[in-house]
Amino acid sequence: MDGVDTRFFTPDEANQLLVELRPLVERMRLAYGTLHAARARLTDLAEKAVAGGGSRMPPHLMQAGEQLESSILAIRRHGVVIKDLSSGLIDFPAEYEGRPIFLCWRPGESAVGYWHEVEGGFDGRRPLEPDR
């Protein structure tokens, strides 16, 4: 976190925002999966374009790219940090005992129920205590 205009979320605020974020995260994951699966085709298209033999990108890949970009922008616009495109792991900047932390959530979890230190990452996740 850079500290510049960072919004800090409470667990309640993060959970309320999940209503809007869940479909965006799912759309992001699906679009990323489509593009990741087609990475060899995308590399081939890029090489042909550089060599002057241009080739049109298939419409479904263009659509996936647009969906990925728009989903990422919409999620980030809320001040939420995307940690992993494939799994959909996201972090909400928060503050605990005067220091910045992240509240974290991933698809499949019913609510934001974990937190970690800014440098701790997913492996450092700890369950939220009732008073957080």
Task: List pLDDT tens digits, range 48-60.
Answer: 776 666 667 788 8
- In this prediction, residue 26 carries a pLDDT of 98
User: Which neighbouring-strand residues pair with 89?
Assistant: 84
- In this prediction, residue 121 carries a pLDDT of 87
Indicate if the alpha-carbon torsion angle 60, 66, 67, 69 is positive or negative: positive
- In this prediction, residue 53 carries a pLDDT of 62
Q: Does residue 1 contact residue 92 with C-beta atoms inside 8 Å?
A: no
Is residue 65 within a helix (H) or strand (E), and if so which, with residue range?
Answer: helix 59-77
- In this prediction, residue 55 carries a pLDDT of 62
Q: Tell me the pTM.
A: 0.84
Nearest Cα to 126, choosing from 101, 108, 107? 101
Query: Where does residue 91 fall: left (phi above 0), alpha (psi -120 to 50 degrees), or beta otherwise?
Result: beta
| Cα 13 from chain centre | 17
Residues 6+ apart with CB under 8 A from 120: none
What does pLDDT average to in each consecutive run of 10 residues of the chain (132 residues)? Answer: 74 98 98 90 74 72 94 98 97 95 97 95 90 56
